[in-house]
Amino acid sequence: MSMVSEFKEFALKGNVMDLAVGVIIGGAFGKIVDSLVGDVIMPLVSAVVGKIDFSNLFIVLGQVPAGTPMTLDALKKAGVPVLAYGNFITVAVNFLILAFVIFLMIKQVNRLKRAAPPAPPAAPAPTPEDVLLLREIRDALKK
């Protein structure tokens, strides 16, 4: 087989196409979860706990040039090394929410896929004609 035909056979297999669809849907679903966390959950958490912005939590690891504002974006633009653990917290919260939503989805799918009720017992196969004739002969001989 030529390299092109082998690649064509590989690329057109069902598993590869399913994977491609899964990756595309997963990317879109990730955007939905990011919006859920950033636009719905974090404002609710901020209302309960107080104003929290995880994305601006960081530790400065180097010298800050004079006059540089102490914001994450400004420090990164100035080339100051920072440990931005707030971004990690945001990504971890996104992951936990995504995992929980997927868990709920799989739980619902499994509930919908309940085991089908067992099939009723099949009717016995009709008795062959020769067996019926032999039974009639047997019964006639007994009489």
pLDDT tens per residue, range 70-94: 888 888 888 889 888 888 887 787 7
Q: Are 94 and 88 in contact (CB under 8 A)?
A: no
53 CB-near residues (< 8 Å, 6+ apart) = 46, 86
Which CA distances in Å does 62 have to 2, 25, 78, 91? 56, 41, 11, 25
Which helix H or strand E contains 73, and what residues bound it? helix 72-77
Residue type present at position 5: S
Count up the domains in the chain and report the number. Answer: 2
pLDDT tens per residue, range 26-71: 888 878 877 877 788 777 877 887 766 677 788 888 888 888 888 8
Q: Which of 56, 52, 84 is nearest to 71 (CA)?
A: 56
Residue identified by tokens 């089908």 is: 116
pLDDT tens per residue, range 93-105: 777 877 887 788 7
Domain that residue 45 falls in:
1-50
Examine the domain organization and report whether 61 and 101 are in the same domain: yes
Examine the domain organization and report whether 46 and 84 are in the same domain: no
Examine the domain organization and report whether 59 and 108 are in the same domain: yes
**35 within domain boundaries:** yes
